[in-house]
Structure 1
């Protein structure tokens, strides 16, 4: 699941995800997690400081062993923290076993994102929630043209990142009902900075 970039937000470079412009997104999305939490594509652990006392356990799923090694060296958090080296398309957890799933700038790079979202729904409890902030397909025709044009090349140089994934419809097609969503451009090149932030529950 790869690497982030400051400009594009998927993970082209883990250091760039320390960009302070992303802090408010992290505070809102991560801060809303509660109970037993599964974080998809946890990377080097940049989200860990934003979890609230409402979280009783964090399961940090990441397929890249190098990023996991970095995360293990991160400062300790209050909740019990367990690292899982696995892909989001094959989550090694029981059905209905987590209260919250968190995904931050990750759906753009997962090779089989639809399959991963189905897995997220499977492991969520019936009253659980999916919290997300992602970049993806713009509603503006001119921007979409650039996203479609750039994505084949961009994928090859940015760890598999897709600029043009329709995040909301992907989540809904996986069996979630959108509970809250906010969209809009973050500062930066428009093909790379149209944001989707919100929450959803299993239908």
Structure 2
């Protein structure tokens, strides 16, 4: 990003962590531009908690990537955010209406605790 280090108070990400190539690098870049204490809000779909739905997500993932412009059904947004070094302040996950492999939704807020 063409932004200075520690230059942003907050960031919002909606239904993009599933698709970004190099998602780990993108989240590292987001941490770089967020000020210490900066908030990261996210709304994503991803890997379901139950084994049966996960099995279907893994089966469908190769097709999903081709048909949905690189979207991965098997990415876990909470784990990605934590692995990037953010501290979770709030997370809520639930199934919304629709076929289970596509509708496990997570929204949350994390802090850049540099």
Q: Same fold by TM (over 0.5)?
A: yes
Matched, 1:94 2:12: no
Task: Report the aligned-residue RMSD.
Answer: 0.7
Q: Secondary structure in 2 aligned to 1:147? A: helix
The answer to whether residue 28 in structure 2 is matched with residue 118 in structure 1 is yes
**1:181 — aligned with what?**
91
Query: What are the superposed Cα offsets for residues 51-85 of structure 1, whole Å, 9 maximum, x if unpaired?
Result: xxxxxxxxxxxxxxxxxxxxxxxxxxxxxxxxxxx
Whole-Å separation in 2 of the counterparts to 1:152 and 1:130: 29
Equivalent residues in 2 for 1:1-203, closer than 5 Å: 91-203=1-113
Structure 2 alignment gaps of length 5 or more? none
* 3-state SS of 1:191 partner: helix
- 1:134 Cα shift? 0.2
Higher relative contact order (CA 8 A, sep 6+): 2
Distance in structure 1 (CA, Å) of the matches to 2:82 and 2:16: 17
Higher strand share: 2
Larger Rg: 1
Alpha-carbon distance in structure 2 between the residues aligned to 1:101 and 1:120:
8
SS in 2 for 1:200: strand
Give, in angstroms, the shift of residue 127 of structure 1. Answer: 1.4
User: 1-side partners of 2:90 and 2:61: how far apart?
Assistant: 28
DSSP 3-state at the match of 1:94: coil
Displacement over 6 Å in runs of 4+: none
TM-score relative to the length of structure 2 = 0.97
Q: Unaligned stretches of 5+ in structure 1?
A: 1-90
The alignment covers a number of residue pairs equal to 113
Shift of 1:196: 0.8
Q: TM-score, normalised by structure 1?
A: 0.55
